[in-house]
Chains A and B, each alone.
Chain A
């Protein structure tokens, strides 16, 4: 159905307006991170662009600069406490380690399981699929509280042993991401015709050889898309990290510690928040093509 010119123009305006509406909080947030304090807390007016931008907030949170020194250098000379509590380099490290580790674990387990679910006929196949799906339905809080008790008993809390703490958090993230990875990978394996496997096996390859040499290379794009989604979910996760760890502070949890009894450090919060969103933005644009499939556990394809 062709639309007339005025309708088309109206539609373009509406589309741009709606998108801009959804982009506004992101823009506002990024602006907040480079605003001097005076611009952010102006009581009389809303400051949009007429301020002198500063990178102080990024310097403190991402580079670990001393806040009081920066204030003196900037000629503010006010009595600002120079604590190291806003240095977030360790939190970024923790987030990266846990996200990469858990994604690796998830993908290794998921690719194997998904291959069998896609290719083999066996008793209990439906049951296994339902089990995986059921895992996705389960609210994390249901296993979280006992998990804390279990980790305490076996010494897997980060306060007992830092390495075990990382592993503990990775494992629960792996569990959380497993359903999406398994079901998504199964849908990618389903896209590869079974004739491919059969031809290879008639030629004498074992299942394992067929899988490794023939089928996995054909679903490389799917593996990458699934891994990116797992990474993003682990990167943005909040509840599990908040409950399970004390010393390990992933970025979403760390940022909450900037909310203090004397007031929220909005500059640092917005700087770290903006920095935390950037890797996700880059990754999500890389997997646009498979996003819908990923979000619907492989049941809808674009």
Chain B
């Protein structure tokens, strides 16, 4: 047997050692190449673009390292978009986490039929978000949307009210689609967490006469903290790039009421094609994501 090993080594000797399958290089090279060409290079390009100024008439780029970043600091729409992005992310995260946990507790049962309910709960996750946005656009339509009609019938809104058409409620309408589609994400993760909990502490607590709520607060929550932190981190990153629902349902409007960082960058890109400024806003999004997620990972000691 050792003879075979020798012959294998001998067969490969014409290759430099870093090209042999014993070396990590050939294994990692293809993935690295993709990440460099389509990830790192465009990112460096984006940084370079953000340091250029586009002449509005001649469309020539000139080097002006502080121009876009200065413009960004003084641009009220950027601050509005940043605030909207944080509001969107924060509200959606809280709602999804709380609803997700409650629904997970409800569906965490081994009895017959619950498996089917859990499977059904995963369906919203895989509908294309742009289609989900359309679904809610239809249901929230001011004149014939089924949800709008329901809300009006309950007397909560005046007849003919358009949820997405008013700046005060447009964000709530967009969030409805977001929460509907991604609460199941939290449900699934919380269910996985609940199912991995050990039984003994709960049995002991029951013998000591603890109520269900006490057991949840004192046992379930602390034991689930790692799972919750991971779910919040992953969901938070995705929420922060909010675009699909906003683009389809309100196109950032009315006015700039639902404009997020990504949708603002998109508007500039499709509007006056000011690539350097759009890139600068996109980079701001990246910087905020890095800062907030690093802080989160430090504070809550999460590691993916």
Binding site for B on A (CB under 8 A): 1, 8, 11-12, 14-16, 18-19, 22-23, 25-26, 28-29, 32, 40-43, 46, 105, 108-110, 112-113, 115-117, 120, 122, 125, 128, 131-133, 135-150, 171-172, 174-175, 178, 182-183, 202-208, 211, 232, 235-239, 242-243, 251-253, 255-256, 264, 266, 269-270, 273, 276-277, 280-281, 283-285, 288, 291-292, 295-297, 299-302
Contact = CB atoms under 8 A, between A and B. Distances in A.
B16 to A, nearest CB: 15
Contacts of B129: 236, 238, 252
Nearest to A270: B138
Interface residues of B, number: 100
Contacts of B87: none
A112 B27 contact: yes
B122 A284 contact: yes
A243 B269 contact: yes
Nearest to B132: A25
Given A204-B1, A236-B126, A269-B134, A300 B189 contact: yes
Given A146-B46, A150-B41, A302-B192, 5 more contacts: A141-B265, A171-B34, A238-B244, A270-B138, A302-B196
B230 A277 contact: no
B78 interface: no
B50 to A, nearest CB: 10
Contacts of A11: 106, 109
Given A116-B24, A116-B27, A270-B138, A137 B289 contact: yes
A280 B119 CA distance: 13
Contacts of A137: 237, 289-290, 293
Interface string B212-254: 1000000000000001001100100100110110011000000
A145 B276 CA distance: 9
Interface in B99-132: 103, 106-107, 109, 111, 113-114, 117, 119-132
Contact of B49 (A112, A146, A299): A146
A280 B285 contact: no
Name the prevailing secondary structure of the A interface residues.
Answer: helix
Given A295-B189, A300-B230, A238 B130 contact: yes
A284 B68 CA distance: 44
Nearest to B47: A146
B304 A299 contact: yes
Contacts of A26: 123-124, 127, 135
B31 A150 contact: no
Interface stretch (B69-77, B143-151, B161-169): B143-151
Given A1-B206, A43-B143, A266 B138 contact: yes
Contacts of A43: 143-144
Contacts of A280: 126-128
Given A115-B27, A139-B240, A277 B128 contact: yes
Given A146-B42, A236-B129, A238-B128, A139 B286 contact: yes
19 contacts: A1-B212, A12-B113, A15-B117, A19-B120, A22-B123, A46-B146, A110-B31, A120-B24, A133-B304, A137-B237, A142-B279, A146-B49, A206-B12, A237-B128, A253-B130, A273-B128, A276-B128, A280-B127, A296-B304
B230 to A, nearest CB: 6
Contacts of B8: 204-206
B83 interface: no
Given A14-B106, A145-B278, A288-B122, A300 B22 contact: no
A128 B28 contact: yes
Nearest to A123: B24
Contact of B126 (A110, A117, A281, A300): A281
Contact of B189 (A178, A264, A296): A296
B24 A1 contact: no
A139 B131 CA distance: 21
B282 A142 contact: yes
B139 interface: yes
B95 to A, nearest CB: 14
Nearest to A129: B304
A295 B234 CA distance: 8
B43 interface: yes
B30 A108 contact: yes
